Amino acid sequence: MDPVYRTDASPPLAQSAVEARACAEIWDKFAQNDAQRYIWTIRQGNDPQEFWQSGEHTVAREFLPLIRSYQVRPALGLELGCGVGRLAFPLARHFQQVLGLDVSRSMIQQVISAATEKRVTNVAFCAIAGPEDFVQLATTNPTRFDFIYSLLVFQHVPDLSTIAGYLLVIRTLLHPRGLAYLQFDTRPPGLSYRLKMRLPDFLLPRFWRRGIRRIRRSPQEIEGCIRRAGLEIVAQLTPRTAYHRYILRVPPTSGTSS
């Protein structure tokens, strides 16, 4: 297949807000320190196979049954916040092409090396600075994606307007018969959560510090963004948990043609 997208990790298409730069810097540090550990924090031992198997498992148990039951074309997949390809590589075995985007250039460099090492050729990766670059992708590329997914990403994004911006672009990039599969942490914020959110990083364990910690959002906040983006909720999986997934599509009445 001809490459459709940039596969380099050259500078992002445009620099965006301070928050996006801070996010990129922090994730670059995590990527350089120990990418796998920061991506999949529940890993028990040091076996990298466990990390890659977790991605295989998610694709086999979560993505493929959904893709089949909604009859999504297994053509073009798009991952927002792809990290080092834990999910993109297994998904690529079932799709014609998968594009991974990430705010961290270091993650993108690592995922490109991993693609070469694993000899996966139907994937492409690109660093983005935030929703603005994503908009540029939508406007310069007429391609519409059949399956857009993002796991373990929005839970780390501190600014709700960034999430709202991404949802607007997802709406534009999603094929009329495609699905989006997006995960959020929607556990109610208890007292200990609110206390931990106020403490300075030096008092907190590693995975509770700014950047890597999970930010809880209310379903109302998220559903407001989804509605304003013009997306429709088709289903929800394990709502009000740390692994709340929204299955979204372009509403059939919105007049888009396939």
Ligand X SMILES: C[S@@+](CC[C@H](N)C(=O)[O-])C[C@H]1O[C@@H](n2cnc3c(N)ncnc32)[C@H](O)[C@@H]1O
**Residues making contact with ligand X (CB under 6 A):** 23, 27, 39, 80-83, 86-87, 102-104, 107, 130, 151-153, 156-157, 162
**How is residue 12 written in tokens?**
């992002």
Q: How far is the CB of 211 from ligand X (least distance, A)?
A: 8
**How is residue 212 written in tokens?**
């890597």
Q: How far is the CB of 258 from ligand X (least distance, A)?
A: 28
- Which residue's CB is nearer to ligand X, number 22 or number 251? 22
- Which residue's CB is nearer to ligand X, number 23 or number 229? 23
Q: How far is the CB of 209 from ligand X (least distance, A)?
A: 14
Q: Strand 97-102's sheet: what is its strand order?
A: 123-127, 97-102, 76-80, 145-150, 174-184, 244-249, 232-237
- Which residue's CB is nearer to ligand X, number 1 or number 49? 49
Three-class SS state of 143: coil
- Smallest CA-to-CA distance from 104 within 33, 48, 52, 50 is with 33
- Which residue's CB is nearer to ligand X, number 23 or number 250? 23
What distance in Å separates the CA atoms of residue 86 and residue 53, rounded to the nearest whole number? Answer: 8
Measured torsion, CA atoms of residues 172, 175, 176, 181, in degrees rounded to the nearest 10 = -90
Half-sphere exposure of 132 (CA within 13 A, CB side): 11
- Which residue's CB is nearer to ligand X, number 67 or number 152? 152
